[in-house]
Chain A
């Protein structure tokens, strides 16, 4: 059964069709890649899926439920988690607190319990800490738990962003160029992390990527976007061999 199903998603900015009739079908547990040259509209698709922009037309189904015109906050609650191309961490908060903000909607106590330090506060905070540390250990960040997130090295910041998103317990994980700005070693490590996340959490992942090696290495299916339109969709090996894709990337002779 498909977890994410998108029909004819379109948006225009001042007459320019940034995304035009976008369709996609991501199965549960799949690792799916969205690729395309710069300015093809990949991040715009993510912004449409997460409610940052409202589409002009089209429908988005998550697990069979229409989430098209919901607010960003509610889409997160429905189970869509995302990371950002230009990392967006809570820089002044500690690494631990970044993850705990991700846990926000899964653990509840009211303001009075927080301010008056009622027993419930202590109990829930303890549970939150345990869950947060569990996630941090998955992403190898326990040693940095008390550090301000802004002071982490670049590669670890990427990892923390994924950890924070995983804390919201998503059904679908959207990764926006997770390997941007990484060296080959870091990219290799990241590939392992992404695969690990998929296997460990049985996660469905849609990722935008520039790095062809990364895409070829881990994605089962690909959709190629060019000038806002879908160029090709299908199995990774077939898509990468398609002459239209090669032209779009390398330009025509």
Chain B
């Protein structure tokens, strides 16, 4: 058995471990639920956990693999959440098989978020660094604010749109408002389950990990490591930047659908889809290790569950996160600290010890 494991190439072995962790975590949770050992609060947290994991893994594709900072990831989640929820509301009485309807909603959420990712990425991915960060933040806020002001109704004549109020939709008497401005979409069937969430996490991981270990993934990472060299060996930089950004957006859309179908009603508020959410997901990615997919999963889970378990510190939690974030950045990236770590690393210490022994 061990020999056969050793035969599998290293990246694939790493991936199998990652999938294994997710499956084992799912089974453990299911056992805890069946034994009634999970608090009401924790049970309620299971689907959001899947949402955050998908968000963190997909953002890591942009930040860690493509190497560009996006601060508008929650905007794509918002698009997915509303596109999926809109579809579900319209089809509520047409498709009654809820699982089938939900799968379609997920695909639509991914498609809408992905298309917007492509449309936004096309003009903005020529920016780099700080500018890209602020432009993605701007797009995230634009999406959230427009959806927050959007009214969509349906009557026998078709769909009606407005950015003012529900009255100006000008619908017939039997018409119904589906997206009601700041009130959002109400009366959602709650189709999301922990099982579906876990399956979506696994699909997300499958897509992202296989992408990384492929021809396209290498091209994307080469852009991250050295854009000019990448162009010089003939990589189509624009195309691969767009590819990474679009896939990342589409997966955030999936997370959004899962999110909106876990609620009775969904609104676009600064708290759930604003840049604070984008930044919280970024915190997961950074603390899990930029470019480390498994790290993103673990950070998203630990940082969501821990404060709920330790209720006492929940007020201080964001404060503590921010301190950890700053300290981690300095510890991992400061040139002086890196030099110091090099000098005082365990390896260096051992080799010095060995040299001293040799002398004696």
Q: Are the chains A and B members of one assembly? A: yes
Q: Which residues of A contact B (CB under 8 A)?
A: 50, 52, 71-74, 76-77, 81-82, 84, 88-93, 97, 100-102, 104-105, 107-109, 111, 114-117, 121, 124-125, 128, 146, 164-165, 167-168
Interface string of B54-96 (1 = CB under 8 A from A): 0000000000000000000000000000000000000000000
Interfacial chain B residues near A81, Cβ < 8 Å:
232-233
B229 touches A114 (CB 8 A): no
Interfacial chain A residues near B348, Cβ < 8 Å:
none
A89 touches B211 (CB 8 A): no
Interfacial chain A residues near B234, Cβ < 8 Å:
73-74, 76-77, 104-105, 168
CA distance in complex: A79, B177 (Å): 60
CA distance in complex: A92, B230 (Å): 13
A82 touches B217 (CB 8 A): no
| Least CB distance, B163 to chain A, in whole angstroms | 37
Check B14 for interface membership: any CB of A closer than 8 A. Answer: no
B232 touches A115 (CB 8 A): no
With A90-B221, A91-B226 as known contacts, state yes or no: A117 contacts B231, CB within 8 Å: no
Q: Which of B217, B224, B229, B235 lies at the interface centre, i.e. has the most chain A CB atoms within 10 A of its CB?
A: B229
A90 touches B232 (CB 8 A): no
Check B225 for interface membership: any CB of A closer than 8 A. Answer: yes
Interfacial chain B residues near A77, Cβ < 8 Å:
234
| Least CB distance, B7 to chain A, in whole angstroms | 15
Chain A residue, CB-CB nearest to B238? A73
With A84-B229, A164-B233 as known contacts, state yes or no: A93 contacts B214, CB within 8 Å: no
A165 touches B228 (CB 8 A): no
Check B216 for interface membership: any CB of A closer than 8 A. Answer: yes
Which residues in window 114-154 of B have CB below 8 A to A? none
Which among B206, B214, B228, B291 is the interface contact of A88 at CB below 8 angstroms? B228
Interfacial chain A residues near B291, Cβ < 8 Å:
92
| Least CB distance, B357 to chain A, in whole angstroms | 26
B230 touches A111 (CB 8 A): no
| Least CB distance, B289 to chain A, in whole angstroms | 12
B210 touches A117 (CB 8 A): yes
| Least CB distance, B177 to chain A, in whole angstroms | 39
Which among A50, A91, A117, A124 is the interface contact of B232 at CB below 8 angstroms? A50
With A73-B237, A88-B226, A114-B210 as known contacts, state yes or no: A104 contacts B219, CB within 8 Å: yes
With A77-B234, A97-B218, A114-B215 as known contacts, state yes or no: A90 contacts B210, CB within 8 Å: no
